[in-house]
Amino acid sequence: MPWVKVWIHFVWSTKNREPFLNDEIRQKVYRHIRENAQKKDIHLDFINGYVDHVHCLISLGTDQTIEKLMQLIKGESSFWINKNQLCKTKFEWQDEYFAVGVCESMLENARNYIANQEKHHRTKSFDDEFEDFLKRSGFQTFKDKES
């Protein structure tokens, strides 16, 4: 039996960053994503976000890929949101997502960061947060390409 522990911090947003995820809807969506993840043997350690995006901390299983996890979580949850008519218009997630590895020693920092999303976004937009994530993770950002 293989022993694998690979932690991934995922971030994805609503289509066009529409603020669909008000407090009530957000909690329903998180609960559903947790239940769905459990049914599909996805180890979702932590979930939170804000009105236009979601953060998840997940430990990959030996037969799971990042792409497949995003399909299972994003695709199924948007279907569920629409089926249950949680939004007045058709709900969609943005195609893009962010995924970066988290080392074991930084798990508590990642959990705290995810837990404090509402407080964090009182002073920082999602666009600024996403740019910071990309830079800290060594990706070339949109702003870098313009320079």
For residue 143, pLDDT over 60 is answered with no
- Start-end of H helices in the chain: 23-39, 66-70, 76-83, 107-115, 117-120, 126-136, 142-146
Q: Is residue 33 part of a domain?
A: yes
Q: Is residue 13 part of a domain?
A: yes
Predicted confidence at residue 84, as pLDDT, reads 97
The Cα–Cα gap between 88 and 101 comes to: 35
Is the separation of the CB atoms in 10 and 98 below 8 Å? yes
Q: Is residue 90 part of a domain?
A: yes
Q: Is residue 22 part of a domain?
A: yes
Predicted confidence at residue 122, as pLDDT, reads 82
Q: Is residue 97 part of a domain?
A: yes
Q: Is residue 1 part of a domain?
A: no
Based on the structure, what is the number of domains in the chain? 1
Each residue's pLDDT tens digit, 7-25: 999 999 999 999 999 999 9
Predicted confidence at residue 141, as pLDDT, reads 60
Q: Is residue 32 part of a domain?
A: yes
Give mean pLDDT, residues 31-57.
96
What is the residue range of 66's domain?
Answer: 6-146
Each residue's pLDDT tens digit, 85-138: 999 999 999 999 999 999 999 999 999 999 998 888 888 887 888 788 778 878
Q: List strands edge to edge, sheet with 43-50.
A: 43-50, 53-60, 6-14, 93-102
For residue 93, the cross-strand partners are 14
Q: pTM of the full predicted structure?
A: 0.87
Q: Is residue 95 part of a domain?
A: yes
